[in-house]
């Protein structure tokens, strides 16, 4: 095995890990604040990819309704990203308002919330199937693809953007959670949910804010995923969503750093097992590794065990 | 409020029951044919074309007055069930069509992962089934009630291997396939066997797999690239092929990529764009440059549904023709389903030198047709016939 081969797979793993990390962070945020495993998150990611598809196709003038002029790509890309994040955040907030909050306010057990989340994920999936039909869609070319080759290593600009964007957005997220008042309130809720309203902080607002953050990260992941793998299908969120959820658990669900590390660990094991061992064993070995990590550290790498308060 | 809800539910149920019973009662002089198709799931375009072709066929037959069996005229009626392109879905749909809808014969499912389990159900329940698109041997193997319209993978594998060796002057090959799906897995094995027969053991440098739903193939493709093989064979469906081809280009691979009959879908051209230019694959029929009955079919289909039909549509058309021929061969319809089904099965097995729009075919003892394959090249986003290979 040459060094080229190793570096090439390292880059492949960085890209795949970035996607898993970006999605995993959405599970972690909601869990950190609500102690709710938001199983609809994989499908929110799908909604993000489809929203990006519609906005992107419209702005690049490939949609049925045409703009009277062509937009330059430095307008199309930021507008697509921001608008997609905004709309997907609205979807996330709507789910919280329609499905989770009424249950929470009635004091339903967390188990019912998890089941509601699963149900809502399926609702999004099959809603998409019913509304948009079962045909696959091709994600628009937002970025002109450039292929760089250095020695035996080949990288596309899209791979570089995916990796950079994921690090950048994780950084921003970390800053929001650690350094802003909203972030402080989020952390406060996860420490002591009962004391927070006594301090004059609206729990519902902070929860909404959490969903906005998580869903816009999913939207960003959706756009980048669509750019890297330009075929969209109604159930695309399911498999990736599960893998990202496992990544979040391995990293220690509730911890942003954990989600990121978990995403990269899963990404690296999947790619490197496929590269160095028969690719048939990829998922088997990858998940055995994760199981071992959990067996040694049941709360995940960066997780803190929670004691049940009475 | 609650009362109202109950009343609504009860009335909806009653209406459904009424329609259901109305359907069941509408027997008379019609023959029911079941369509077990992939309306939802991951190959919806396949199911759609199959359904459209069958509907077109039935409409045409019925407008011409139906079919004549032993001096009596019968209209055809389609019962369409969705199999979700899964093993469980297709077995469930087959059960429902056979036991509940009382069909005489079943057309479909199309992909092998669905056709293999549905074939088991049809064979156990002694109902003739014909799969328009499944090329995996297991679909019909030791199942006297199950037939198919396309050629088989043990024939297709060597066709691709021979063509690739001659055309690209290649001695080493790589394969990338979905290990969790019957069709790609079976064909990958057939190709490997044929290639190693031509070029010796170890001439398939990499035999890489992934599982259904994967979209990132970078690790497998990196291994394939570093192995230095001269041609890549990937017997995948239209939802993976564009990703595989474009990711191979992203990794700087320039070896030729070959596919199989699953590539012959119009959606492949749409999703793949310029990346698939110059790729070759083996298939059953080519729309471009077709003549005679094949051209008539393509024109009719295009007029009705506004796109050029893929191979699965043409094969469904042939399957419907075979079923009709089998019913005619049968001679009489008694109304006793068990007798009629046996009679149609025997009628189907008797078919010889059948002149279909995807070529001439005769069934062998296993229920598989003996017919030719076409090699297609993708040029300017069109499927162009390049060569053909006969058994």
Contacts of B205 (CB under 8 A, 6+ apart): B172, B173, B174, B224, B227, B228, B229
Q: For residue A16, list chain B residues with Cβ-Cβ distance below 8 A.
A: 216, 218
Chain A: give the shortest CA distance to residue B310, in Å.
Answer: 15
**Per-residue pLDDT tens digits for B219-234:** 999 999 999 899 999 9
According to the model, what pLDDT value does residue A151 have?
Answer: 80
Measured on CA atoms in the order B124, B126, B127, B129, is the torsion positive or negative? Answer: positive
Q: For residue A13, list chain B residues with Cβ-Cβ distance below 8 A.
A: 219
Which residue reads 């902070």 in tokens? A206
Q: Which of A9, A229, A283 sits opposite B222 (nearest CB)?
A: A9
As a dihedral over the C-alpha atoms of residue B252, residue B256, residue B259, residue B265, rounded to 10 degrees, the angle is 70
According to the model, what pLDDT value does residue B4 have?
Answer: 66
Q: Which of B40, B250, B271 sits opposite A129 (nearest CB)?
A: B40
Q: For residue B45, list chain A residues with Cβ-Cβ distance below 8 A.
A: 134-135
**Per-residue pLDDT tens digits for B75-96:** 999 999 999 989 999 999 999 9
Fold match, B31-150+291-371 / B153-283? yes
For an interface test with B, give the residue of A4, A127, A134 to mutate (most B CBs within 10 A).
A134
ipTM associated with this complex: 0.85
Q: B153-283: what fold?
A: Rossmann fold (3.40.50)
Host H or E run for residue B194: helix B182-199
**Per-residue pLDDT tens digits for A48-80:** 999 999 999 999 888 877 777 888 888 899 999
Q: Which of A4, A154, A231 sits opposite B250 (nearest CB)?
A: A154
Q: What is the DSSP string of chain A?
A: --HHHHHHHHHHHHHHHHHHHHHHHHHHHHHHHH----TTHHHHHHHHHHHHHHHHHHHTT-SSSPPSSPPPHHHHHHHHHHHHHHHHHHHHHHHIIIIIHHHHHTT--HHHHHHHHHHHHHHHHHHHHHHH-S--EEPP--S---EEEETTEEEEHHHHHHHHHHHHHHHHHHHHHHHSHHHHHHHHHHH-TTHHHHTT--HHHHHHHHHHHHHHHHHHHHHHHHHHS-EE-TTHHHHHHHHHHHHHHHH-TT-HHHHHHHHHHHHHHHHHHHHHS-GGGHHHHHHHHHHHHHHH-TT-SS--PPPPP-
Q: What residue segments make up the domains of chain A, in order of their start?
A: 31-236
Q: Is B87 within 8 Å of B308 (Cβ atoms)? A: no
DSSP B30: E
Q: Is A257 within 8 Å of A251 (Cβ atoms)? A: yes
Percent of chain A with pLDDT over 90: 56
Host H or E run for residue B374: strand B373-379
Distance from C-alpha of B227 to C-alpha of B243, rounded to nearest angstrom: 20
Contacts of B133 (CB under 8 A, 6+ apart): B46, B50, B110, B111, B115, B149, B150, B261, B311, B312, B315, B316
Instruction: Test A279 with B251 for CB contact under 8 angstroms.
Output: no
Q: What residue segments make up the domains of chain B, in order of their start?
A: 31-150+291-371, 153-283
Chain B: give the shortest CA distance to residue A213, in Å.
Answer: 26
Q: Is A170 within 8 Å of A260 (Cβ atoms)? A: yes
Note the CATH architecture for domain B31-150+291-371.
3-Layer(aba) Sandwich (3.40)
List per-residue pLDDT tens for chain A, 310 residues long. Answer: 588 889 999 999 999 999 999 999 999 999 988 888 899 999 999 999 999 999 999 998 888 777 778 888 888 999 999 999 999 999 999 999 999 999 988 988 888 999 999 999 999 999 998 898 777 888 998 888 888 988 888 899 999 999 999 999 999 999 999 999 999 999 888 888 888 888 888 888 999 999 999 999 999 999 999 999 988 988 889 889 999 999 999 999 888 899 999 999 999 999 999 988 888 888 888 889 888 998 998 888 887 766 554 4
Distance from C-alpha of A202 to C-alpha of A301, rounded to nearest angstrom: 31
Average of pLDDT values for B174-178?
94
User: Where does the pLDDT of residue B161 fall: very low under 50, low under 70, confident under 90, or very high at 90 and above?
Assistant: very high
């Amino acid at each position: 095995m040459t060094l080229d081969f190793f570096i090439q797979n390292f880059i492949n793993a960085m890209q795949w890990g970035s996607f898993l990390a970006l999605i995993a962070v959405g599970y972690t945020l909601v869990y950190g604040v609500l102690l709710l495993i938001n199983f609809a998150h994989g499908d929110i990611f799908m909604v993000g990819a489809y929203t990006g598809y519609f906005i992107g196709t419209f702005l690049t003038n490939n949609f049925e309704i045409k703009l009277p002029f062509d937009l330059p790509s430095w307008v199309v890309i930021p507008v697509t990203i921001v608008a997609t994040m905004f709309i997907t955040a609205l979807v996330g907030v709507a789910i919280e308002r329609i499905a989770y909050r009424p249950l929470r306010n009635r004091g339903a057990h967390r188990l019912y919330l998890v089941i509601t989340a699963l149900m809502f994920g399926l609702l999004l999936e099959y809603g998409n199937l019913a509304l948009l039909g079962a045909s696959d869609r091709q994600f628009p070319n937002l970025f002109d693809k450039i292929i760089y080759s250095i020695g035996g290593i080949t990288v596309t600009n899209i791979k570089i953007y995916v990796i950079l964007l994921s690090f950048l957005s994780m950084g921003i997220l970390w800053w929001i959670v650690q350094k802003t008042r909203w972030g402080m309130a989020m952390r406060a809720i996860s420490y002591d949910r009962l004391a927070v309203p006594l301090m004059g902080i609206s729990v519902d607002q902070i929860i909404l804010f959490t969903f906005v953050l998580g869903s816009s990260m999913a939207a960003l992941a959706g756009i980048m995923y669509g750019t890297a793998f330009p075929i969209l299908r109604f159930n695309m969120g399911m498999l990736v969503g599960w893998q990202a959820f496992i990544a979040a658990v391995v990293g220690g669900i509730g911890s942003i750093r954990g989600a990121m590390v978990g995403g990269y660990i899963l990404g690296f094991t999947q790619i490197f097992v496929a590269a160095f061992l028969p690719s048939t064993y990829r998922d088997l070995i990858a998940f055995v590794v994760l199981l071992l990590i959990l067996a040694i550290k049941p709360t995940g790498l960066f997780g803190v065990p929670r004691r049940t308060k009475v | 409020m609650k009362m109202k809800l109950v009343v609504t539910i009860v009335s909806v149920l009653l209406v459904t029951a009424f329609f259901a019973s109305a359907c069941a009662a509408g027997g008379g002089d019609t023959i029911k044919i079941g369509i077990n198709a992939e309306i939802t799931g991951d190959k919806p375009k396949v199911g759609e074309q199959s359904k459209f072709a069958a509907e077109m066929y039935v409409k045409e037959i019925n407008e011409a007055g139906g079919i004549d069996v032993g001096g009596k005229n019968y209209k055809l009626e389609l019962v369409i069930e969705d199999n979700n392109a899964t093993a469980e879905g297709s077995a469930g749909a087959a059960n429902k069509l056979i036991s509940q809808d009382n069909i005489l014969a079943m057309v479909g499912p199309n992909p092998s992962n669905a056709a293999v389990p549905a074939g088991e159900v049809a064979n156990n329940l002694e109902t003739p089934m014909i799969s328009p698109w499944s090329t995996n041997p297991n679909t019909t193997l030791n199942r006297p009630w199950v037939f198919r319209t396309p050629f088989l993978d043990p024939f297709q594998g060597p066709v691709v291997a021979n063509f690739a060796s001659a055309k690209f002057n290649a001695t080493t090959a790589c394969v990338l396939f979905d290990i969790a799906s019957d069709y790609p897995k079976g064909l990958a094995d057939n190709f490997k066997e044929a290639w190693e027969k031509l070029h010796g053991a170890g001439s398939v440098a990499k035999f890489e797999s992934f599982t259904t739903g994967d979209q990132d193939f970078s690790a497998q493709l990196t291994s394939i690239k570093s192995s230095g093989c001269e041609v890549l064979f990937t017997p995948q469906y239209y939802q993976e092929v564009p990703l595989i081809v474009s990711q191979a280009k992203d990794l700087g691979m320039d070896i030729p990529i070959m596919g199989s009959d699953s590539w012959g879908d119009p959606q492949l051209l749409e999703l793949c764009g310029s990346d698939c230019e110059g790729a070759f694959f083996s298939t059953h029929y080519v729309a471009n440059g077709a003549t005679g009955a094949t051209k008539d079919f393509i024109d009719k289909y295009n007029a009705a549904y506004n796109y050029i039909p893929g191979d699965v549509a043409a094969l469904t058309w042939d399957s419907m023709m075979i079923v009709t021929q089998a019913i005619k061969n049968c001679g009489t319809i008694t109304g006793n389903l068990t007798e009629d089904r046996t009679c149609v099965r025997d009628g189907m097995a008797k078919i010889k030198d059948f002149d279909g729009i995807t070529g001439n075919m005769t069934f062998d003892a296993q229920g598989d047709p003996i017919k030719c394959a076409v090699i297609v090249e993708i040029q300017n986003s069109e499927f162009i016939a390049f060569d053909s290979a006969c058994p």
